[in-house]
Chains A and B, each alone.
Chain A
Amino acid sequence: MTDATAAKSGVRKVEGAPLLELDDVKMHFRIKGDGILALGNKWVQAVDGVSLTLQPGETLGLVGESGCGKSTTARLITRLLEPTGGQIRFQGVDIAHMNERQLRPYRREIQLIFQDPYSSLNPRHTVGTIVGTALRTHDMVPKSGELKRVQELLEMVGLNPEHYNRYPHEFSGGQRQRIGIARALAARPKVIVADEPVSALDVSIQAQVMNLLENLRKELGIAFVFIAHDLGVVRHFCDRVAVMYLGRVVEEGPRDELYEKPNHPYTQALLSAVPDIGVVRGVPPKNRIRLVGDVPSPVDPPSGCRFRTRCWKAEEICATQDPALLEHTEKLHTACHFAAPPTESIVAETV
């Protein structure tokens, strides 16, 4: 971006900085306690010290079970929430505590696709209005060119451009998700945060939307933060993957390394728990790691390593020392005192 356009759009930039950078971001929600004068107040540590980077055009997957903080992270990146700690840098500029007015230009650069295609579209607005509002809010096109651009966007996501005056209820779930994607594309963002964009869709429709997202990524070079609980979907779409557990990133690295030789016990357990249809196609069954129990409460997380209460490798040190996210093997960063590749095959071999 040249200085002239930067001045016009209001987005500042630090040379050489990554596109997006989370640095020790924390989000603690307060829950009201019983005591007087906030004595009984507790804090839900939804996100507790997450650091991630995203380069232009890259896709970063965030996986983890419910309550691990992946959706909160999405809301922090898009600044729908203000973090209670840490920095969120977009092109080197910290946007973590900007006010609404300062944020405006950055809102354009970072767009969000929601999970539920039913509740994320206003039922009283036509598709043209929904997508057009995004154009108008960010002054993307002159008023006269608005309809043409809306139709272009609809066509881009595989909808009939003539349908701009229809209402959301006239579309199926998969088509609605496409409308949500068109709305996100309207602002010509550099980053799209997709929070479970396909998990509400049926299998065959899910694959259609995945292919659409993939084509858009290739054509437009948009960077994605892709959040999903489906490990197959994430593997299909992402270059790099970060695994979250109870508000922290426990392992992060390039897709193939992470899926084939994960070092963190939780990643190993997570991958081995995924039912794989390969079994019936003659792929040797993988070694199953069955975790016992549930994820502890984020109000009162375990001391030290947060996974230790369910971990079979846990020892004294895990309760006292919090493991740092360090590079162990081949660009794979792992937060574990006993990080090691799996001893037996936990993922079925390539056919």
Chain B
Amino acid sequence: MSDQTVRAPQTVARTPRARSADEQAYLEVSDLHVHFPTQDGVVKAVQGLSYSLPLGRTLAIVGESGSGKSVSSMAVMGLHDRKSTKITGSIKVGGKEIVGMSERAMMSFRGADAAMIFQDPQSSLHPYFTIGDQIMESYRSHNRTSKKAAKERAIEMLDRVGIPNPKRRVDQYPHEFSGGMRQRAMIAMALVNDPKLLIADEPTTALDVTVQAQILDLIADLQRDFGSAVVFITHDLGVVAEIADDILVMYAGNAVEHGPVDKILGSPLHPYTWGLLESIPAVSGTPGPLHPIPGSPPSLLAMPSGCSFNPRCEFRERVKDDLCRTLRPDLIARTADTGRASRCHLHDPDRVFEAEVLPRLP
């Protein structure tokens, strides 16, 4: 047994970095709307989303299916069909405006400035081409180099993402790779042009937990080296706690809460975030009962008036004048915390959380 295959257990601990005030945003999304007109009406998948992300930071976007987390990120990459999608608002990546960019400009933007990793590495790799061919194609479409140089680059990238024996692996086909290895190859392909923005859409959801841990380590490690901005889309709050600096919680096409990871998971201010935390059975501590959010998310064709979460919110009655049902709350900064905002009418959410929600967390 060689030393390469088995390593002694190692302790990995990380602390989220604090946001400094002078960091310039690399990705800036403001008032983004993504609508899909259909026969049944307009599906309002994203409605007025705004956030910004500087280089070197990881933003986790969390939310359930249909919350708009993937749709908004695909808009950043310009991946929506222009004919069937209506996108308004602004998305700026490194100063370039993405909304309304020509397909030609988009081609040179994608891959070079921003890259994306998808959930299912099985279906995102072409089965007919070798792993090396696919990485080389990505590299050569942005750099004028010989095939030989591109192949060397591909081998270097495979080595960088921890694929053993990259010289042999580069000529293999996707089916010869395991799930975790394929995801590593995807990451190598995404990073081959050294993009400043990496969007990872549920990159570990299809993987087993021990392999997931390897991939999370790899992404965090690469980000430290390349200093890129990372948008990490996931529904797993445990993963978020491990990898993110900031969290954006989305519900029904909009951000309901945004802020540093320790604040959002430690003392969240929005009832939806409370509901999520109360729904997750923990692997440690004393097992307690779960308190799921009643009902299910609203249809994107017929949104409730007022706050989109109000039909499922148990704190709705606390707000005077039935505001929750009539007026949509704004995403406003809360307390003195830097960069922390929530979209809720409750006037004392921190007290409600301490007194009522915290004691019953599982």
| A in complex with B | yes
CB distance A210 to B213 under 8 Å? no
Asked if A233 is at the interface of the complex by the 8 Å CB criterion, the answer is yes
In whole angstroms, what is the CA distance A229 to B242 when docked? Answer: 19
Asked if A348 is at the interface of the complex by the 8 Å CB criterion, the answer is yes
CB distance B216 to A294 under 8 Å? no
CB distance A65 to B287 under 8 Å? no
Known: A278-B284, A280-B265. A288 touches B213 (CB 8 A): yes
Which of B20-28, B134-142, B288-296 is the contact stretch?
B288-296
CB-CB < 8 A to B289: which residues of A?
A: 211
CB distance B284 to A211 under 8 Å? no
Asked if B331 is at the interface of the complex by the 8 Å CB criterion, the answer is no
Asked if A311 is at the interface of the complex by the 8 Å CB criterion, the answer is yes
Asked if B48 is at the interface of the complex by the 8 Å CB criterion, the answer is no
Asked if A317 is at the interface of the complex by the 8 Å CB criterion, the answer is no
CB distance B9 to A276 under 8 Å? no
CB-CB < 8 A to A283: which residues of B?
A: 284-285
CB distance A350 to B279 under 8 Å? no
Asked if B170 is at the interface of the complex by the 8 Å CB criterion, the answer is no
Known: A203-B64, A292-B6, A294-B180. A276 touches B280 (CB 8 A): no
In whole angstroms, what is the CA distance A348 to B242 when docked? Answer: 14
Which of B180, B235, B242 meets A279, CB within 8 Å?
A: B242
Residue of A whose beta carbon sits closest to that of B64: A202
CB distance A274 to B217 under 8 Å? no
Within 8 A of A (CB), among B267-294: 275-287, 289-294
CB-CB < 8 A to A288: which residues of B?
A: 9-13, 213
CB distance B281 to A232 under 8 Å? yes
Asked if A31 is at the interface of the complex by the 8 Å CB criterion, the answer is no
Number of interface residues of A (CB under 8 A): 59
CB distance B209 to A204 under 8 Å? no
CB distance B292 to A207 under 8 Å? yes
CB distance B213 to A276 under 8 Å? no
CB-CB < 8 A to A290: which residues of B?
A: 7, 9-10, 12, 210, 213-214, 217
Which of B65, B179, B280 meets A232, CB within 8 Å?
A: B280
Residue of A whose beta carbon sits closest to that of B180: A294
Contact flags A285-314 to B (C-beta < 8 A → 1, else 0): 111111111110000000000001111101
Asked if A50 is at the interface of the complex by the 8 Å CB criterion, the answer is no
Known: A205-B292, A289-B9. A278 touches B64 (CB 8 A): no
Interface centre among B5, B213, B283 (most CB of A within 10 A): B283
In whole angstroms, what is the CA distance A229 to B296 when docked? Answer: 24
In whole angstroms, what is the CA distance A206 to B64 when docked? Answer: 11
Asked if A236 is at the interface of the complex by the 8 Å CB criterion, the answer is yes
Asked if A347 is at the interface of the complex by the 8 Å CB criterion, the answer is yes
Within 8 A of B (CB), among A231-268: 231-233, 235-237, 259
Asked if A339 is at the interface of the complex by the 8 Å CB criterion, the answer is no
Asked if A270 is at the interface of the complex by the 8 Å CB criterion, the answer is yes
Contact flags A43-72 to B (C-beta < 8 A → 1, else 0): 000000000000000000000011000000
Asked if A271 is at the interface of the complex by the 8 Å CB criterion, the answer is yes
CB distance B178 to A312 under 8 Å? no
CB-CB < 8 A to B237: which residues of A?
A: 203, 277
Residue of A whose beta carbon sits closest to that of B209: A273
Which of B238, B287, B294 meets A277, CB within 8 Å?
A: B238
Within 8 A of A (CB), among B286-317: 286-287, 289-294, 296-297
Known: A174-B296, A202-B235, A236-B290. A277 touches B280 (CB 8 A): yes
Pairs of residues from A and B, 4 with the lowest C-beta to C-beta distance, nearest first: A275-B238, A207-B292, A236-B281, A207-B279
Give 11 new A-B contacts, CB below 8 A, not counting A206-B279, A290-B214. A66-B208, A202-B297, A204-B275, A232-B281, A235-B287, A236-B362, A274-B283, A287-B11, A289-B10, A290-B9, A309-B5
Residues of B within 8 A of A (CB): 1, 5-13, 64-65, 178-181, 208-214, 216-217, 235-242, 261-262, 265-266, 275-287, 289-294, 296-297, 362
Q: Could you show 25 A-B contacts with beta carbons less than 8 Å apart?
A: A66-B179, A202-B297, A203-B235, A203-B276, A204-B64, A204-B296, A206-B279, A207-B291, A211-B289, A232-B281, A233-B281, A235-B282, A236-B281, A236-B290, A270-B210, A274-B209, A276-B283, A277-B237, A281-B266, A285-B13, A288-B213, A294-B178, A294-B179, A312-B9, A347-B283
